[in-house]
Amino acid sequence: MYTHVLGLPRIGAQRELKKAIEAYWKGNISLEQLEQTGKNIRQQNLYLQKEMNFDFITVGDFSYYDQVLDMSMTLGAIPKRFQTSSTKSEMDTYFAMARGTQNAKAMEMTKWFDTNYHYIVPEFYKGQQFSLNSNKIIVELKEAKNSGFANLKPILIGPLTYLYLGKSQDKNFDKWSLIDPIIDIYIELLIKISPYCEWIQIDEPILVLNLPSKIKELFIKAYKKIKKHLPSNNKILLATYFEDILDNKDTVLSLPIDGLHLDLIRGKKQLNYLHEFKNTFLSLGIINGRNIWKANLNKILDDIKNILSSKSLDIERIMLSTSCSLLHVPIDLEYEKKLSLELKSWMSFAKQKCEELKILKQALEGKDVSKILEENQKTIDSRQKSTLRTITNIQDKLSQINTKMFQRQSSYKERNKKQRSILNLPLFPTTTIGSFPQTPEIRKTRLLYKKGELNEQEYKQKIKKFIDEVIQRQEELGLDVFVHGEPERNDMVEYFGQQLKGYCSTENGWVQSYGTRCVKPPIIYGDIERPSPMTIEWITYAQSKTTKPVKGMLTGPITMLCWSFVRDDQPRKDTAFQLALAIREEVKDLEKANIKVIQIDEPALREGLPLKQNKWSEYLSWAINAFKLATSGVKDETQIHTHMCYSDFEDIIEWIAKMDADVISIEASRSKMELLEVFKEFNYPNEIGPGIYDIHSPRVPSIEEIKELLELALKVIPKEKLWVNPDCGLKTREWPETLASLKNMVSAAKMLREKY
Ligand code: GLN
Ligand code: ZN
């Protein structure tokens, strides 16, 4: 029996990589210094795996930004606009592709399956040439070998998944026609990798999706060709995760692979079919890579023993692993000093999950680990019995929910009339999505307060000063609907998590979201309740400083759910409804406090979609109801906004319409307003604010360019329904570019008002 992981977190235990990259971008450290930080992190991960006695040492899971972008670099899939300046280092080209430059727009970014990790979308062009362009994986293999590590197992994103995730940039061009040239480069690469290892892990997570037969056929063709050219001493471990592969079982069975990794947490059903894969090595993903709960080791051991005997599997050909890469969980629980000991004892982060694997293997090999197993059982039992998890009247509250609570009082048309007369907005109203730059001063203020070096009153005064500034700047810019800027929030989910019962947060539980952006998902361990108002003081303060409407700003129940680690002891739906009830109370309180516009962000709605399409409608019906439960408790006059980014609405537009938000703002600039087409086709009834510039890049859009995008939007959206706003919140930006961009945005809106 062997143990290994599908990948480890790579941001560093104290986010060293994030800090180094950002310092490099600012010119504060050299390329060599950055590379040294990268190397240190890789070394730490190698030593961790050694300490855990893993039989295979994973290499190649490291990345300076994103593993899909790494593959684009490796294959030489560098869009022309980034090939111009010959003076750029490979690293600078790489970062330019991810973030854009003043002259070249960043590549698109989107969510990795149903996670909150974002990858950079490969771009495909007609006649595109590929070439082996980066040595990253070889460098990392050499480095590991030179440090004395053996049994290296490099990992690569598979060619089919790579192509699937990319987007054709030329109209009517079938990206799949590029499969042959891409496979050729993969083969060249695999031959180079070959001398360093026996096993090569190739990730093909798209095998858990419902694939058209054309792609299934390509799978077989591609892997046959790879197998033919791969030196015979090498073995391929095909890795799948996030769901079961049962829809593609026959395809997988006909692939010439040596090992198969299955996610047995999300894809439990696969347990019944394991014997069919008997002629390959089986890597069993039995430690959950998507949550932070301690594994029930005794139960897993029983399960494994059961599987082995009932399916008569050969233990010599079994690998134990995490369900997916540990990229999606925080690094080490030991850094949590403030968490209550009881809660902490229920949890397990990446390092602890590796330890769980180690113990499982020892137990299965007959080593005496009974003490550890007993200890594990104790905490599992204590969690089951703990009263920390339950609020007594929550079940009553849930049972009192009725369908009326999912509906606004009147139709959108009626509401719109009333809202118009109250708000009195011009054509093409301008607004922003919520946050303004989180300056070092703001961060410092929150930190000092957290440390107790500022008392509550001092803290509030400072935050209010930031709000004053933000209001002032919005007045100067001439925006129409204001925001308070969210200076009190470290994160849109954690902020609310800290104020709701049933939630706890971590000090250092960072998880990579995209590039250098990390989030610290809070943890839902019990029933949710709102002990007191969460945002009223800030919003009403901001409103008191201006005659323009200030948007109340909340995070929706589904985003709270998706961006938290959730309890695994009740259905997600129940947790979503508990969250919705708490938010509903806040929405009502905002209305009572005379706030006329309230935005409830749901950027994670789409990412929450099950990977299998036949489970969509079940999810969407409760998810949309949760949103409506949160937002429908107000009068017609109160304008409800929602915001979603990185969403493709194509096949869920009817559900988006059912949300019945008065205004929805979406991310649209990176796709050149293409995302709007479906709103037109569906005849989407309410108002829309398609984002007119990409906030992930420091690039300042010109007035011309914004006008052009708005004109494109006007082809699709009636003029009285069009709002003007950026793609998302501005918290990651700096003030100079923010002011310049918004100034251009307001000018473009004004020019358009004259024209229409
Ligand atoms: N209101 C949030 C902000 O502006 C929305 C963030 C998001 O959609 N991810 O920061
Ligand atoms: Zn957003």
DSSP output for 699-722: PPPPHHHHHHHHHHHHTTS-GGGB
CA 559/CA 562 separation, integer angstroms: 5
> Is 35's pLDDT higher than 70?
yes
483 lines ligand 1 (CB under 6 A): no
Q: Exposed e or buried b for every residue in 612-621, given b needs 16+ CB within 10 A?
A: eeeebeebbe
pLDDT at 87: 67
The letter for the amino acid at 720 is E
Tell me, using a 6 A CB cutoff, whether residue 600 lines ligand 1.
no
Atom 4 (ligand 1) nearest CA: 729
Angle value at C-alpha 717, between 712 and 718, nearest 5 degrees? 120
The CA 699 to ligand 2 mean position distance, Å, reads: 17
689 CA distance to ligand 1 middle (Å): 14
Spacing, Cα 484 to ligand 1 middle (Å)? 12
Q: What is the pLDDT of residue 605?
A: 94
Find the mean pLDDT for residues 371-386: 96
The CA distances from residue 720 to 72, 496, 518, 639, in Å, are 42, 34, 38, 15
Average pLDDT over residues 503-517: 95
Query: Would the pLDDT of 453 be above 70?
Result: yes
- What's the pTM? 0.93
Contacts of 339 (CB under 8 A, 6+ apart): 347, 504, 506, 507
Q: Provide the pLDDT confidence category of residue 103 given band limits of 50, 70 and 90.
A: confident
- The residue ranking higher by pLDDT, 89 or 537, is 537
Q: Would residue 696 show up in a list of annotated catalytic residues for this protein?
A: yes
Q: What's the pLDDT at 63?
A: 98
Question: pLDDT tens-digit profile of 569-602?
Answer: 999 999 999 999 999 999 999 999 999 999 999 9
Burial of 76 (0-12, 13-18, 19+ CB in 10 A): middle
116 is in an annotated binding site: yes
Instruction: Determine the 3-state secondary structure of 246 from DSSP.
Output: helix
CA of 433 to the centre of ligand 2 (A): 7
pLDDT in tens, 214-266: 999 999 999 999 999 999 999 999 999 999 999 999 999 999 999 999 999 99
Is 18 labelled as part of a ligand binding site? yes
Q: Is 486 annotated as belonging to a binding site?
A: yes
Q: What is the band of 86 on the pLDDT scale with cuts at 50, 70, 90?
A: low
Judge if the beta carbon of residue 554 lies within 6 A of ligand 1. no
> Can you tell me the distance from the alpha carbon of 41 to that of 36, in angstroms, rounded to the nearest whole number?
9
Residue 646 has pLDDT above 70, yes or no: no
Ligand nearest to the CA of 433: 1
Give the DSSP H/E element, type plus range, for residue 421: helix 412-423
Ligand index nearest the alpha carbon of residue 667: 2
**Average pLDDT over every residue of 3-19:** 97
* 434 is annotated as contributing to ligand binding: yes
Q: Do the Cβ atoms of 461 and 537 come closer than 8 Å?
A: no
Among the atoms of ligand 1, which is closest to the Cα of residue 645? 8
- Cβ-based burial of 750 (10 A; exposed 0-12, middle 13-18, buried ≥19): middle
How much is the mean pLDDT over the chain? 96
**CB-ligand 1 contact for 154 (6 Å cutoff):** no
Residue 690's beta-bridge partner residues? 666
pLDDT of residue 607: 85
Ligand 2 centroid–CA 240 distance in Å is 29
* CB neighbourhood size of 398 (10 A): 13
Respond yes or no on whether ipTM tops 0.90: yes
Question: Mind listing the pLDDT tens digit for each residue in 422-442?
Answer: 999 999 999 999 999 999 999
Probe ligand 1: pick from 116, 118, 433, max atoms within 8 Å of CB? 433
Residue 607 annotated as part of some ligand binding site:
yes
The pLDDT of 613-632, averaged and rounded, is 97
Name the residue of 482, 517, 601, 644 to mutate for ligand 1: max ligand atoms within 8 A of Cβ: 601
Asked if residue 707 has pLDDT above 70, the reply is yes
Which whole number is the average pLDDT over 681-698?
Answer: 94
**Pocket mutation for ligand 1, best pick of 438, 481, 486, 728 (most atoms within 8 Å of C-beta):** 728
| Atom nearest to 731 CA in ligand 1 | 10
Known binding residue 728? Answer is yes
Which residue has better confidence, 150 or 84?
150
- The reported pLDDT for the residue numbered 278 is 87
- 125-172 tens-digit pLDDT: 999 999 999 999 999 999 999 999 999 999 999 999 999 999 999 999
Q: Is 731 in the pocket of ligand 1 (CB under 6 A)?
A: yes
Q: What is the pLDDT of residue 645?
A: 83
Q: Which two tokens stand for residue 255?
A: 């692939």
CA 416 to CA 410: how far, in whole Å? 10
Ligand 1 pocket member 644 (CB < 6 A): no
